[in-house]
């Protein structure tokens, strides 16, 4: 397989995206994650631009990386200075990275109107900076900013900027679609023009932005045209509409085009690593993200689910396991008995769509969804529902009573809520209270406090997402609401649902399912008997 070099710029270009803010420790964590994945280069920031990046590079020098090389990023020298005397060029050297990336102007419009220097001075800035950094022993990547716009406006000058970098010793030249306004045909033409200029075998790269939704397509086209180096961000983070999403590009190159982008066996880590980087950035991975999103291999329609269960490639273009993802069969009124049967197999391997309970389970699902329940985003609640119907569910606790009160004092005192709960666990009662920022937070705190005495593992559980949806707006404040909760223990994540005309009671139902699911399925099953108790489910469904 031909090798493609991958440079991830999440910590530099990605950090310029709206809502992105990495601490120094965040940046170190991202570097470790990307190194474990097997990325070749990590562009980690501009050490001359802010104290945070300067501190990062100081600490990053102590990291023991197995695959990746760190890059410090900066611009060509300032007009009127020599590179040796430019403080920001000195800062690049003081970052002590083996590789340095510099960007320079390749569009004569930018040279005249933004940089406001002569075309000759711009070429001198590129050549002087590149030659100086090479003389200092750095591996040099030259980012040809706005190359494709420059190529379309004045190809002779755009190519002269590349020539200046190459003749000064640049090891890689990267063509940038900085405005993200090029079509794949534009990319192919620009890459071909650059390759005719550069010496045979020179490593040319692509850096695409996603302003027309074509960044991945343009990067693929660039590789097909001859680029051997690709820049992007793992989760597509970046300024404006983002950068090339490497989580979509890398699998396409490896699985569809036969290129090698990561070390052997590392592609299966790409889903987990993308979620890890997104978690550090505090930005969720879109469910619809190709290859790695939660919905990438999700099936809801009855015909689709039946087809994929019979022959996976009938509705899946690859095996989800190749990228570390999993197939999800969404529970809904359009799913049919095949979906119910597949889910029930986790509990009873002998269960098929012809099982006596398959039709009744499917009918119950349709009835509940007609009442406002939605299980496609609440797999844990649906699994509990199946277990109840199969008689394989033993509640670990029961809420005997609960109360929630909210205070809204005037003046500077902050409003707060109080929750009180009485639970029964294995014949023993426990009462607890908690204060929270709101009524659901207070109830959650009280319930955990009551149960943690019996189940210490609940200390690690937290709510990672909470959503409320009004089901029937016609009823106004008396409308039924649906509450979806996502929980995590730091390793596993699961979703639950509750429905009621009372938002607190709907939240209670979802919270109880979330805790029951954790206690029943993410710990030793032998402990189930310790809290076995009579009675039905706490959940209203």
**Domain CATH code at residue 513:** 3.30.160.270
141: its two tokens: 């990547």
Q: What is the pLDDT of residue 475?
A: 53
Query: In the predicted model, is pLDDT for residue 538 greater than 70?
Result: no
Query: In the predicted model, is pLDDT for residue 510 greater than 70?
Result: yes
Strands 398-407 and 416-425: antiparallel
Q: Are residues 335 and 465 in the same domain?
A: no
Residue 316 Cα distances to 21, 246, 296, 299, 460, angstroms: 36, 20, 9, 10, 35
Q: How confident is the model at residue 536 (pLDDT cuts 50, 70, 90)?
A: very low
Query: In the predicted model, is pLDDT for residue 530 greater than 60?
Result: no
Q: Are residues 430 and 362 in the same domain?
A: no
Mean pLDDT of 39-53: 90
C-alpha angle 300-302-306 in degrees, rounded to nearest 5: 105
Q: Are residues 346 and 489 in the same domain?
A: no
Q: What is the pLDDT of residue 374?
A: 76
For residue 135, give the CATH number of its domain: 3.20.20.70
Side-chain-side CA neighbours of residue 228 (13 Å): 11
380 inside domain:
no
Highest mean pLDDT among 23-37, 327-341, 361-375: 23-37
Q: Are residues 108 and 181 in the same domain?
A: yes
Beta bridge pairs of residue 423: 399, 430
Which of 22-36, 185-199, 323-337, 356-370 bottoms out in mean pLDDT, i.e. has the lowest? Answer: 323-337
Q: Which residue matches tokens 């908690």?
A: 434
pTM for the whole structure: 0.72
Boundary-marking domain end, from 216, 251, 281: 281
CA distance 290 to 279: 18
Kindly tell me the burial class for residue 129, based on how many C-beta atoms sit within 10 Å of its own C-beta (0-12, 13-18, 19 or more). buried
CA distance 194 to 192: 5
Mean pLDDT of 45-54: 86
* Tally of structural domains, the chain: 3
Report the SS3 class of residue 318: coil
Percent of the chain with pLDDT over 70: 90
With b for 16 or more beta-carbon neighbours within 10 A and e for fewer, the 192-215 pattern comes to ebbeeebeeebebbbbbbbbbebb
Q: Are residues 273 and 336 in the same domain?
A: no
Mean pLDDT of 185-214: 96
336 inside domain:
yes
Q: What is the pLDDT of residue 274?
A: 95
Q: What is the pLDDT of residue 443?
A: 93
Mean pLDDT of 507-532: 70
User: What are the phi and psi torsion angles at 13 (to 5°)?
Assistant: -70, -40
User: What are the phi and psi torsion angles at 404 (to 5°)?
Assistant: -130, 135
532: its two tokens: 């076995």
Q: How confident is the model at residue 527 (pLDDT cuts 50, 70, 90)?
A: very low
Q: Are residues 353 and 500 in the same domain?
A: no
Q: What is the pLDDT of residue 477?
A: 52
User: What are the phi and psi torsion angles at 281 (to 5°)?
Assistant: -75, -10
Query: In the predicted model, is pLDDT for residue 285 greater than 80?
Result: yes
Boundary-marking domain end, from 281, 312, 347: 281
C-alpha angle 85-9-283 in degrees, rounded to nearest 5: 130
CA distance 234 to 244: 8
Give 354's contacts (C-beta < 8 A, 6+ positions apart): none
409 inside domain:
yes
CA distance 123 to 50: 27
Query: In the predicted model, is pLDDT for residue 87 greater than 80?
Result: yes
Distance of CA 244 to the CA centre of its chain: 14
Mean pLDDT of 136-157: 97
Q: Are residues 169 and 208 in the same domain?
A: yes
57: its two tokens: 């590079």
Q: Are residues 71 and 139 in the same domain?
A: yes
Query: In the predicted model, is pLDDT for residue 292 greater than 80?
Result: yes
CA distance 205 to 173: 6
Q: How confident is the model at residue 411 (pLDDT cuts 50, 70, 90)?
A: low
Distance of CA 33 to the CA centre of its chain: 12
Q: What is the pLDDT of residue 539?
A: 37
CA distance 260 to 5: 9
Distance of CA 382 to the CA centre of its chain: 25
CA distance 92 to 99: 10
Strands 493-500 and 481-488: antiparallel
Query: In the predicted model, is pLDDT for residue 529 greater than 50?
Result: no
Helices (H), 64-135: 87-94, 108-110, 119-135
Q: What is the pLDDT of residue 287?
A: 86
Boundary-marking domain end, from 351, 370, 389: 370
Residue 233 Cα distances to 10, 71, 166, 239, 502, angstroms: 5, 14, 25, 11, 43
Mean pLDDT of 209-221: 98
| Distance from the first to the final alpha carbon of the chain | 53
Q: Are residues 446 and 507 in the same domain?
A: yes
541 inside domain:
no
Give 363's contacts (C-beta < 8 A, 6+ positions apart): none
Strands annotated E in 44-200:
69-75, 99-105, 139-145, 172-177
59 inside domain:
yes
187 inside domain:
yes
Percent of the chain with pLDDT over 90: 63
Strands 328-329 and 99-105: unpaired
Which of 27-31, 40-44, 388-392 bottoms out in mean pLDDT, i.e. has the lowest? Answer: 388-392
CB count within 10 Å of CB 309 equals 18
Q: What is the pLDDT of residue 442?
A: 92
Distance of CA 308 to the CA centre of its chain: 26
Name the packing angle between helices 302-310 and 336-344 (round to 10°). 50
Residue 140 Cα distances to 127, 190, 203, angstroms: 12, 22, 12
Task: Please check whether residue 78 is in contact with residue 113, taking contact to mean a CB–CB distance below 8 angstroms.
Answer: no
Distance of CA 397 to the CA centre of its chain: 35
Distance of CA 425 to the CA centre of its chain: 38
Task: Please check whether residue 174 is in contact with residue 162, taking contact to mean a CB–CB distance below 8 angstroms.
Answer: no
Q: How confident is the model at residue 540 (pLDDT cuts 50, 70, 90)?
A: very low
Query: In the predicted model, is pLDDT for residue 526 greater than 60?
Result: no
Q: Are residues 28 and 164 in the same domain?
A: yes
CA distance 102 to 345: 56
Query: In the predicted model, is pLDDT for residue 474 greater than 80?
Result: no
Q: Are residues 262 and 148 in the same domain?
A: yes
The domain containing residue 151 runs over which residues?
A: 2-281
66 inside domain:
yes
Report the SS3 class of residue 140: strand
101: its two tokens: 């990336």
CA distance 129 to 80: 12
Task: Please check whether residue 171 is in contact with residue 133, taking contact to mean a CB–CB distance below 8 angstroms.
Answer: no
Q: Are residues 188 and 332 in the same domain?
A: no
Q: What is the pLDDT of residue 302?
A: 64
202 inside domain:
yes
CA distance 19 to 235: 14
C-alpha angle 292-218-40 in degrees, rounded to nearest 5: 60
């Amino acid at each position: 397989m031909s090798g493609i070099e991958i440079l991830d710029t999440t910590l530099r270009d990605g950090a310029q995206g709206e809502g992105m803010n990495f601490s120094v420790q965040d940046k170190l964590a991202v570097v470790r994650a990307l190194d474990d994945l097997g990325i070749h280069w990590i562009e980690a920031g501009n050490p001359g631009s802010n104290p945070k990046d300067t501190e990062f590079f100081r600490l990053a020098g102590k990291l023991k990386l197995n695959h990746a090389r760190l890059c410090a990023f900066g611009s060509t020298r300032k007009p009127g200075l020599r590179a040796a005397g430019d403080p920001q060029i000195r800062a690049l050297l003081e970052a002590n990275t083996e590789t340095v990336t510099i960007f320079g102007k390749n569009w004569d419009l930018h040279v005249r109107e933004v940089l406001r220097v002569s075309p000759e001075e711009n070429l001198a800035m590129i050549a002087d900076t590149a030659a100086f950094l090479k003389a200092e022993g750095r591996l040099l990547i030259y980012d040809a900013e706005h190359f494709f716009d420059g190529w379309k406006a004045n190809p002779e000058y755009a190519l002269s900027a590349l020539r200046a970098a190459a003749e000064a010793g640049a090891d890689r030249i990267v063509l940038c679609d900085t405005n993200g306004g090029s079509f794949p045909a534009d990319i192919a033409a620009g890459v071909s023009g650059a390759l005719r200029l550069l010496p045979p075998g020179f490593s040319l790269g692509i850096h695409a932005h996603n302003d027309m939704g074509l960044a991945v397509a343009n990067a693929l086209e660039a590789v097909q045209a001859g680029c051997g180096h690709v820049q992007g961000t793992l989760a597509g983070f970046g300024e404006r509409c983002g950068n090339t999403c490497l989580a979509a590009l890398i699998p396409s190159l490896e699985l569809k085009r036969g290129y090698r982008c990561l070390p052997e066996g590392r592609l299966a880590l790409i889903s987990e690593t993308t979620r890890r980087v997104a978690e550090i950035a505090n930005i969720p991975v879109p469910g619809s993200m190709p290859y790695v999103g939660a919905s990438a291999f999700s099936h809801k329609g009855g015909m689709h689910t039946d087809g994929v269960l019979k022959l996976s490639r009938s509705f899946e273009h690859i095996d989800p396991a190749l990228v570390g993802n999993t197939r999800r069969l969404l529970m809904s009124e359009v799913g049919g008995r095949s979906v119910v049967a597949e889910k029930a197999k986790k509990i009873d391997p002998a269960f098929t769509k012809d099982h006596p309970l398959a039709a009744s389970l499917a009918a119950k699902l349709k009835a509940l969804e007609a009442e406002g329940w939605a299980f496609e985003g609440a797999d844990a609640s649906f699994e509990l529902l199946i277990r109840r119907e199969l008689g394989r569910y033993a509640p670990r606790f029961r809420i005997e009573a609960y109360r929630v009160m909210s205070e809204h004092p005037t003046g500077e005192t902050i409003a707060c809520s109080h929750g009180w709960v009485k639970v029964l666990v294995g014949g023993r009662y426990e009462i607890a209270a908690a204060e929270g920022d709101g009524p659901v937070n207070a109830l959650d705190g009280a319930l955990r406090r009551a149960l943690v005495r019996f189940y210490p593992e609940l200390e690690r559980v937290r709510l990672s997402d909470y959503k409320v949806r009004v089901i029937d707006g016609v009823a106004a404040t008396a409308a039924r609401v649906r509450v979806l909760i996502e929980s995590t223990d730091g390793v596993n994540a699961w979703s639950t649902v509750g429905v009621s005309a009372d938002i607190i009671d709907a939240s209670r139902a979802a919270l109880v399912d979330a805790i029951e699911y954790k206690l029943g399925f993410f710990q030793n099953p032998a402990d189930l008997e310790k809290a076995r108790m009579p009675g039905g489910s706490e959940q209203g469904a």
